[in-house]
Chain A
Amino acid sequence: MKLKNVAAVGSLALVTALALSACASGSGSSETPAASATPTTAAVDSTLTGTITAGGSSAQANAQAAWTSAFTAQAKGVTINYDKSQGSGGGVTNWLAGSYDFAGSDSPLKEDQAATAQTLCGPGGGINLPIYLDGVAVIYNLPGVKELNLSSATIAKIFSLQITTWNDPAIAAENPDATLPATQITTVTRSDGSGTTTNFTNYLSQTQPSIWTNPPSNAWPIAGSSAQQGGSGVVNTVKAGEGTIGYADHSAIGELSSANIQVGTGTDFVPFSAEGASNAFTEAAATVDTGVEGDLAQKIDYTKITDADAYPIPLISYAILCTTFPDEAQSTLTKAYISFIASEVGQEVAAKNAGSAPIPADMLSQIATSLELVK
């Protein structure tokens, strides 16, 4: 029956097409080569050999690529695979399943995850080490407006859709010198779950709890924005639209203008800078007592950022690893790599190649102390 055959061929084509699209959606899992390997002279044991398998946060991806090439330039026998396609959640899930040496994550382990980590790592559990610091930039595209000052209250009102036009009195009051058009504001947010969203909503809910009533979340909580996939999706859409405003990792924004953010309730509006993020970290981040020895999970109190030299929306990302590795060689290798990352040279490599901010020296020495506990 020819007709039936045709239908069969059709459904075969359908199946193939679905398989193809499934393949397409799984793309981008391979490790990215670093933009430019900077020859460095950090103390790395060049006799190390082996493979480190890790993955998670895509915010860390560029920095991990830079660290990988700088590290393997010295320890030639080492291969490092960092899978950024997993995202923070996937990274932690895979690490808890025992398939990663460490996970990259924008948020520290939750309580139940920490409990699971004890079955994986032994009684010592897993530790969160803050290895990556950046800022969340508020990016906009408004022709004719080069400089834009925004307070946390205004940002919260814009992103909760209470302010809908650019010439709103609240924006005008903060930007007396700018000529603001009556253009409709289009907020651009992430459609996929993201650590950047967690940091940004955390900032909004801490600084403006009466305006921003949603709890911090890795998924954007308010319908009505233009939701785009990935940090690059947000950046591209802000660039393409007019009157758009969005948020993204500072290292990913390219040439787009980003707003100066008001620190505290003062009169200072601060543009993003690496030092600004580092200062904010020093000022507002405090180690949380999780009961795990050596754990350096941070809690940022955004309301404490008041210094005119600090950028108000810092973003921290962690390396999460076991205190006791099942395999000693793997432990030595991973420790060497994380030590390199958490060295001043390592932080400089990331700052230069990935546009991140250096972690303050004080925290770096705490990380070194924690790493000594790792067996």
Chain B
Amino acid sequence: MSEPGSRGPQRSTKGVRAKSRPADRIFLGLSTGSAASIMVILAGVALFLIIQAVPAIMADWQTNPDLTSGPTGGYANFWTYVGPLIWGTLFASAIALVVGAPIAIGIALFISHYAPRRLAGILGYLVDLLAAVPSIVFGLWGIIVIRPFLLPLSDWLNTYLGWIPLFGGQVSTTGSTILAGAVVLAVMILPIITSISREIFLQTPRLHEEAALALGATKWEMIKMAVFPYGRSGVISATLLGLGRALGETMAIALIISPAILVSVRMLTEGENSQTIAANIALNFPIATTLQREALIGTGLLLFVISLAVNMVARIIAGRAGKGALRKRKKMLAQLPPSDPSTVLAVDDVLARKSPAVHTEGADDPEPEIDREEREGKDA
């Protein structure tokens, strides 16, 4: 908020119609400052991570007495230390996504297309509430409830599917497995994926859905043909945002998993759970010496980069798909005769972008409308 008004004159040359009053300029300054502060904060964090991490990344890990003992002892260099941690982070998050994303999308679909209106409201509220539970609570819940709960399943998987590397190895007796951690992670990312997917499913153009139903599709076929293609990119970006959350999760993982710094795909063992970056920092930071702290900050830098990349990909997918689809639709509408009633209907649909949750009543649109909507649905 340091440069109020510095961007004011620039803005006014772009043709602001109203006369600029002091309150306008102050508000402009404040909001511009707020926007700028985001950039400053992000850059500051990145700079801090880089400056702090460089000494540890550059150091000789085999001879430096600070690094040869304690949490960083026994690694050839920074990259052999951080490699397994990156693997662990991605692996735990991937399991969480595999477990969590389908359920989250299922919930979203139920809320948007199946549930009675009132139930949908309550469910949506509950899912949002889940996002407000602190991760330490999830961690304790994981230790006390999920760990023992998953033990019989772990035994079963190990006994009958142990030939698959994922389920192999010496099965855990305490339950501190990466599976338990990932299940809790999955619950933690549910609200993110669900709430975004729900919004996107609700935006499916009503005409697409009605067209599908009118062509004789069952409800599931309608969802498959109209809702999923329309919402695909949105759901992908929701999932990636969930992944971003899972990547950075600390406390739940630190509390639940019995970690080791190694690359392993085993999910049910006591001693072969790959540690994640965030949990490793939390667990070792208090005891670390100065250079070890810098090494831990270095692992944090890589986590920062990974999270940033995931979030950026999510935003790009969401942005591109949204923009592309609407532009395409507008272009098509422009080619129609403006007074045609079906045009009016379609324009309303695109501009209002509001459709009720459920509508099974028969479509009474004129015939060509369905044809066009069908065509558009494929394009989108």
Enumerate chain A interface residues (CB-CB to B < 8 A).
Answer: 1-4, 6-7, 9-11, 13-14, 17-18, 20-25, 27, 85-90, 93, 110, 112, 184, 186, 188, 191-195, 215, 217-219, 221, 223-229, 233, 236-237, 240-244
Which B residues are in CB contact (< 8 Å) with A191?
Answer: 254, 258-259, 283
| A7 with B318: CB separation less than 8 A | yes
- The contact sample of 7 A-B pairs, CB cut-off 8 A, is A6-B318, A10-B241, A17-B245, A21-B135, A24-B135, A90-B287, A219-B287
Contact B135 A10, beta carbon cutoff 8 Å: no
**B234 contacts the other chain (Cβ, under 8 Å)?**
yes
| A14 B192 Cβ-Cβ under 8 A | yes
- Least Cβ–Cβ distance between A335 and chain B, in angstroms: 27
State the CA gap A19–B283 with chains docked (Å): 18
Residues on A with C-beta less than 8 A from B249 are 21
A308–B284 Cα distance when bound, in Å, is 37
Q: Are A87 and B286 also in contact (CB < 8 A) when A13-B131, A217-B73, A244-B174 are?
A: yes
Instruction: Kindly identify which residue among B148, B191, B270, B287 contacts A194, using a CB–CB cutoff of 8 Å.
Output: B287
Residues of A within 8 A of B353 (CB): 2
Contact with A along B128-170 (1 / 0, CB 8 A): 0001001110000001000110000000000000000000001
**Interface bits B39-76 vs A (CB < 8 Å: 1, else 0):** 00000000000000000000000000110011101100
A244 and B260 contact, CB distance less than 8 A: no
In the complex the two chains form, is A224's CB within 8 Å of B270's CB?
Answer: yes
Query: Closest residue to A224 on the B side, CB-wise?
Result: B271
B368 shortest CB reach to chain A, Å: 27
Among B195-203, B218-226, B340-348, the stretch that binds chain A is: B195-203
Residues of A within 8 A of B248 (CB): 18, 21
Q: Is B322 an interface residue (CB 8 A)?
A: yes
**Residues of B close to A21: CB separation below 8 A:** 134-135, 248-251
Q: Known: A87-B287, A225-B270, A240-B148. Is A10-B258 also a contact (CB below 8 A)? A: no
Write out the residue numbers on chain A whose beta carbons fall within 8 Å of the beta carbon of B255: 229, 233
- A186: B residues at CB distance < 8 A: 172-174, 270
Instruction: Give the complex CA separation of A316 and B115 in angstroms.
Output: 63
Taking CB as reference atom, which chain B residue is nearest A20? B134
Q: Is the CB of A1 within 8 A of B323?
A: yes
**B322 and A4 within 8 A (CB):** yes
Knowing A18-B248, A229-B283 are in contact, say whether A223-B272 is a contact too (CB < 8 A). Answer: yes
In the complex, which residue of chain B has the Cβ closest to the Cβ of A241?
A: B174
CA distance A219 to B192 in the complex (A): 35
Closest CB in chain B relative to A202 CB, distance in Å: 12
Taken together as a complex, chains A and B put the C-alpha atoms of A114 and B58 apart, in Å, by 25
A residues near B322, Cβ cutoff 8 Å: 1-4
Which residue of chain B is the closest to A106 with respect to CB atoms?
Answer: B287
Beta-carbon nearest neighbor of B66 in chain A:
A112
Q: How far apart sit A177 and B36, CA to CA, in the bound complex (Å)? A: 74
Known contacts A3-B321, A18-B248; decide if A89 and B287 are in contact (CB<8 Å): yes
Chain B: CB-nearest residue to A237: B174
Closest Cβ of chain B to A196, distance in Å, is: 11
Number of A-B residue pairs, CB cutoff 8 Å, is: 182
> Which parts of B226-263 form the interface with A (CB within 8 Å)?
234, 237-238, 241, 244-245, 248-251, 254-255, 258-262
Smallest CB-CB A-B distances: 5 pairs: A193-B287, A87-B286, A3-B322, A224-B271, A192-B283
Q: How far is the CA of A3 from the CA of B273 in the complex (A)?
A: 38
Docked CA distance A86–B326 (Å): 54
In the bound complex, what is the Cα–Cα distance between A191 and B275 (angstroms)? 10
Q: Does B37 interact with chain A (Cβ within 8 Å)?
A: no
Q: What chain A residues lie within 8 Å of B241 (beta carbons)?
A: 7, 10-11, 14
Partner of A24, one of B136, B176, B314: B136
Determine whether the beta carbon of A223 is less than 8 Å from that of B174.
no
| Min CB–CB distance B263 → chain A (angstroms) | 11
Instruction: Tell whether, in the assembled complex, residue B196 and residue A7 are in contact, meaning their CB atoms are under 8 Å apart.
Output: yes
User: 18 extra interchain contacts, Cβ-Cβ under 8 A, other than A3-B203, A24-B136?
Assistant: A1-B319, A4-B318, A4-B323, A9-B196, A11-B314, A13-B192, A18-B245, A25-B136, A25-B251, A87-B287, A89-B289, A93-B290, A186-B172, A192-B282, A193-B283, A219-B71, A225-B271, A240-B148
Does B315 sit within 8 A of A, measured CB to CB?
yes
- Complex CA distance for A87 and B314, rounded to whole angstroms: 38
- Type the 1/0 row for B335-364, where 1 means its CB is closer than 8 Å to any CB of A: 000000000000000000100000000000
Residues of A within 8 A of B89 (CB): none
Most buried by B among A7, A188, A194: A7
Q: Residue of A at shortest CB range from B291?
A: A112
Contact present for A229 and B254 (CB under 8 Å): yes
Closest CB of chain A to B45's CB: distance in Å? 12
Chain A residues within an 8 Å CB radius of B199: 2, 6
Question: Residue among A18, A27, A184 with the most chain B CB within 10 A?
Answer: A18
Residues of A with C-beta under 8 A to B245: 14, 17-18
Is B70 touching A193 in the complex (CB atoms < 8 A)?
A: yes
B69 close to A215 (CB less than 8 A): yes
Counting CB contacts under 8 A, is B288 at the interface? yes
Q: Roughly how many angstroms separate A23 CA and B132 CA in the complex, as a whole number? A: 13
Q: Say whether, besides A14-B245, A191-B254, A90 and B174 are in contact (CB < 8 Å).
A: no
Q: Is the CB of A89 within 8 A of B288?
A: yes
Report the bound CA distance from A217 to B315 in whole Å.
44
Q: How far is the CA of A221 from the CA of B258 in the complex (A)?
A: 14
- Closest chain B residue to A22 by CB distance? B250
Beta-carbon nearest neighbor of A90 in chain B:
B286
Residue numbers in B under 8 Å from A14 (CB-CB): 192, 241, 244-245, 311
Q: Within the assembled complex, what's the spacing in Å between the Cα atoms of A18 and B300?
A: 14
B70 and A188 form a contact (CB under 8 A)? no
A13 to B127, CA, bound (A): 13
